[in-house]
Structure 1
Amino acid sequence: MPSNLRPDDGCTLLIDGKLSKGSGGVFATGNPATGEHLGWAADARTEDMAAAIAAARTAFDDTGWSTDPAFRARCLRQLREALREHIEELREITIAEAGAPRMLTAGPHLEGPVHDLGFFADLAESYSWRTDLPIAEPMGMRTRRQLRREAVGVVGAITPWNFPHQINLAKVGPALAAGNTVVLKPAPDTPWCAAALGILAAEHTDIPPGVFNVVTAADHLIGAQLAEDQRVDLVSFTGSTATGRSVMAAAAGTVKKVFLELGGKSAFVVLDDADIAAACAMAAFSVCVHAGQGCALSTRLLVPRSAYDRALEVTAATMSGIRAGDPADRRTVCGPLISARQRDRVESYIALARREGGEVVIGGGRPAGRDEGFFVEPTLIAGLPNQSRVAQEEIFGPVLVILPYDGDDEAIRIANDSPYGLSGSVWGTDPERIDKVVSGIRTGTLGVNGGTWYSVDAPFGGYKQSGIGREMGVAGFEEYLETKLVAYPA
């Protein structure tokens, strides 16, 4: 059996193959549904992060990890099996620490990303690491050319709290499969989810010391070392756009590769030939999932002005039927926000909506009977223009803004009138009109009539200030590779 995946002694650092406490002692992790203390996590300091980076650098430079894809595939499958063997313990940690609704742990909150490690293990074995180009004669010199894809080197992965397993594994899986070594810095709100990954990797896999490191810390700024340190070759960051800018600026000093998956304010566009009731009910439901704490959730509902009253009625009725509740309950869709700080942020936007002249149609407060924990009612806001802050800024809570439009062209314009371009939805019946709207919206993923874009083999990422690069799929795997051209006399 492994060490306790709820490490009460705070031994949650994995550095150079060893589990240890941090130089800063320990910090507390809590339950957002109750506000209660759960336990302790290792509080790393700069010297701990420096040691993890050094271990990753040595493992990349001095071992055969980067040149042995079959071995890497085997190690990833070992990690997947270890996670599966302890899936119930991981499930309870995820519900307790992240406030994840139990129903979602059977999908993207846990079991899905664990299963998806197999995709990257398979890819490590099947990928074309070397490709011959046609013979060419540059400047009259007959030349045989070969493209080689090689690991970037040391990867610093900085992850948020909202879907910790999905995002941790979407970075660690392809980065390791591609032959890199990794230092994972998780969010302070969900250290145990990452620590469990480190414990199982250390005790149930043949991953060599230094190849995979986990550094938990109460201080967000510990992750900045990964962007600044010249021994790190790539930083993969998921989080807010504001923090992404800081990561980008810090990485500029060493001109390292940067992958950024940032914020969103995605539009759910309902065309006038759509089933208004079905579409608006889906929009209302989806924004409440995990209390709206998903960067790709559609938080602006665009409806035809001619159907506005009907859309408002259906959306309000659906949201009023969704209760913020205990994430451990199998029926719960909308659990707690991650912290009091995040609840305050969401409530401040609801107050702002009122000050800006908007109407809070449904919700807007804390649910009755939920005095403990960090809950906000599913909230529908009407009467604001798309230029309002509430319609422009990422709130990260169960808050939906409904906006009327006149004609397909205006729907496209409003959808694009945002600094973000991460995701969205289009509902309608005319294929040509749907295709026009889909082609016109500048965003990285779109679902049509309920189609689901999330899958391990499908690239995910955004346009504009929603990020740089793609995660998942072959495209996400290739973010962790360099391209080398070798030329020989033919």
Structure 2
Amino acid sequence: MSALIQPTPRAQAFFDAPHRLLIGGEWVEGRAEPIAVENPSRNEHLTTVDAASDEDVDRAVAAARVALNGPWGRMSGRERAGILFRFADLLDANAEEIAEAMAYDNGQSLAACTGIVRVLACEIIRYYAGWATKIAGDSFLPSLGGARANTQFMVSTLREPIGVVAAIVPWNAPAGMMGLKLGPALATGCTVVLKTAELAPLTGEFFGRFFLEAGGPPGVLNILHGLGHETGAAMARHPGVDKISFTGSPVAGRSIVQAAAGNLKKVTLELGGKSPIIVFPDADLDALVPATALACFVASGQACMAATRLFAHADIYDELVQRVADHADALTIGDSLEPGIFLGPLISARQRARVEDYIRTGIAEGARVANRNGFVPWEGAGNFVRPIVFADATADMRIAQEEIFGPVLTAIRFDDEAAMLRDVNSTTYGLSGSVWTNDITRALRVARQVDSGQVGINVHAAVSPETPFGGNRESGWGREFGEEGLLPYLKTKAISINLGPRD
């Protein structure tokens, strides 16, 4: 490890320990080629994790099926809720240990990682634990015609777990994404085979450990490490899997859909985004400048909901863009364990090179870098990219159409609302967005015309456990969070009862 930043003894002991697979309640060795894990802040080797072979995937799916048909399947909602509440409490109590490992693993700041564990993962699991006792069907008297006109029926519906779930999570917020997959799946009575992100796999071990400690039966939660095109693909095509829940890129999402066609397993996809911030002249610029920087540069821009397109009205465009660029220049950049940093590194050298290529593309397309010092590539260790604000851009540029997944904001001037909305909706994505104005009539009018799964008014990406989240078009299928996030893990069975002749 670097002399600049040293792990705590507890974290170092964790990194030095073997990193196995959790299958059927046991930590076992993987049978595929191990995966090296790097600390992206320093470009240093962190540890190595076992990886799952196709045979390991078979074993994990079989263990999940046994658990589904065994003790877990016979548990009441109250019993499942108790385990999930204890699970969340254990994660919460150990949040600092989990966050330190995650900060080294994926490069986000320690403060951000702690918040992801406590505010996102724990609260989501608690929210869905509350739902475990409230999953119910319905009953009604149907209208039946024809030969059965004189017979009375009653229909009773049951909401049952969909079965074995394959959950595949990304590297940018692994603890939060695991909570988002596991909360609804386990609350409904499903069992799970979860694949960690190959670039940031370590957080999954804590989830497996604490679920067992909370009383989760063996096989209910299985944790696999592995490469997406190997382990992930094996899970997606596996005939023993009933549903896939995936968060990642549209390219990988398409591959999963194709693989899932084998047994027509159900699929939920949360994919990419190119979210807009739309600003009118009456917006509060003092509040908007830091809000825009946070919305775009959070997690160094490595967030699907990041606000990467700024549509600013011509009356305030120049002032707003320069103020945002100056604010970006003042943001602190550094090692994920340094106190007070805002931007950590990108996840890998490959991702850093990709983002820098997009920045050069934007310059070549004619956009102007509004940062005072222009584009200055990072020198030294770490996969860092300084935040960039592009001015004088147009909506058809690649930097305004394609998901960069880095700290790059593209500012587009507008003076016609209808034309602006056409540009806003011109990408293949439709995940998030926000409208900033003090005119509520205008705010609601514009928000309704933004084609995305959620839109904020004077706030961007206000995520909460109760609020549905998901995208339109190539941003995904289905919704997560809230009651809508519970439904994809349930199937409905209708039971028709013959009550005999009508009176």
Structure 1 residues 32, 66: closer, same or farther in 2, change over 3 A?
farther
Q: Which residue of 1 aligns with 2:6?
A: none
Give CA-to-partner distance per residue, 1:54-103, whole Å, 9 cap, x none.
11122213444265222211221221122123222111111111112122
Q: CA deviation at 1:320?
A: 1.3
**SS where residue 399 of structure 2 aligns?**
helix
Q: Percent identity?
A: 36
* 2:442 is the alignment partner of 1:441: no
Structure 1 residues 5, 395: closer, same or farther in 2, change over 3 A?
farther
Between the two proteins, the alignment pairs up a number of residues equal to 485
Q: Which residue of 2 aligns with 1:429?
A: 438
Instruction: Measure, in 2, the Cα distance between the counterparts of 1:322 and 1:385.
Output: 26
Q: CA deviation at 1:444?
A: 0.7
Asked whether the 8 Å contact 2:332–2:343 carries over to 1, the reply is yes
**SS where residue 6 of structure 1 aligns?**
helix
Q: Which residue of 1 aligns with 2:310?
A: 301
Instruction: Measure, in 2, the Cα distance between the counterparts of 1:347 and 1:443.
Output: 28
Alignment of 1:72-83 (within 5 A): 72-83=80-91
* 2:182 is the alignment partner of 1:172: yes
Please, which moves more after superposition, 424-433 or 358-367?
Answer: 358-367
Alignment of 1:406-421 (within 5 A): 406-421=415-430
Q: CA deviation at 1:276?
A: 3.6
Structure 1 residues 313, 11: closer, same or farther in 2, change over 3 A?
closer
Instruction: Measure, in 1, the Cα distance between the counterparts of 2:238 and 2:342.
Output: 41
Q: Which residue of 2 aligns with 1:85?
A: 93
**SS where residue 254 of structure 1 aligns?**
coil
Q: Which residue of 1 aligns with 2:35?
A: 27
Structure 1 residues 219, 458: closer, same or farther in 2, change over 3 A?
closer
TM-score, normalised to structure 2, is 0.92
RMSD: 2.0
Alignment of 1:174-213 (within 5 A): 174-202=184-212, 204-213=213-222
Please, which moves more after superposition, 21-30 or 429-438?
Answer: 21-30
Asked whether the 8 Å contact 2:270–2:477 carries over to 1, the reply is yes
Instruction: Measure, in 2, the Cα distance between the counterparts of 1:415 and 1:330.
Output: 37
* 2:153 is the alignment partner of 1:133: no
Asked whether the 8 Å contact 1:44–1:215 carries over to 2, the reply is yes
Q: Which residue of 1 aligns with 2:21?
A: 13
Q: CA deviation at 1:315?
A: 1.6
Q: CA deviation at 1:3?
A: 12
Instruction: Measure, in 2, the Cα distance between the counterparts of 1:223 and 1:457.
Output: 29
Instruction: Measure, in 1, the Cα distance between the counterparts of 2:89 and 2:290.
Output: 38
Q: Which residue of 2 aligns with 1:223?
A: 232
Gaps of 5+ in 1: none
Instruction: Measure, in 1, the Cα distance between the counterparts of 2:228 and 2:266.
Output: 24
Instruction: Measure, in 2, the Cα distance between the counterparts of 1:66 and 1:381.
Output: 57
Q: Which residue of 2 aligns with 1:366?
A: 377
Structure 1 residues 138, 122: closer, same or farther in 2, change over 3 A?
farther
Q: CA deviation at 1:25?
A: 5.3
Structure 1 residues 315, 3: closer, same or farther in 2, change over 3 A?
closer
Gaps of 5+ in 2: 1-9
Asked whether the 8 Å contact 1:5–1:89 carries over to 2, the reply is no
Asked whether the 8 Å contact 2:125–2:182 carries over to 1, the reply is no
Q: Which residue of 2 aligns with 1:289?
A: 298
Asked whether the 8 Å contact 1:364–1:376 carries over to 2, the reply is no
* 2:495 is the alignment partner of 1:486: yes
Q: CA deviation at 1:324?
A: 2.0
Give CA-to-partner distance per residue, 1:442-465, whole Å, 9 cap, x none.
111111112652011111101111
Structure 1 residues 4, 49: closer, same or farther in 2, change over 3 A?
farther
Instruction: Measure, in 2, the Cα distance between the counterparts of 1:150 and 1:18.
Output: 27
Q: 154, 173, 176: which is aligned to 1:144? A: 154
* 2:107 is the alignment partner of 1:107: no
Shift >6 Å, 4+ stretches: 2-5
Asked whether the 8 Å contact 1:12–1:192 carries over to 2, the reply is no
Structure 1 residues 166, 349: closer, same or farther in 2, change over 3 A?
same
**SS where residue 311 of structure 2 aligns?**
strand
Q: CA deviation at 1:275?
A: 2.5
TM-score, normalised to structure 1, is 0.94
Alignment of 1:309-388 (within 5 A): 309-362=318-371, 364-367=375-378, 371-388=380-397
Asked whether the 8 Å contact 1:360–1:381 carries over to 2, the reply is yes
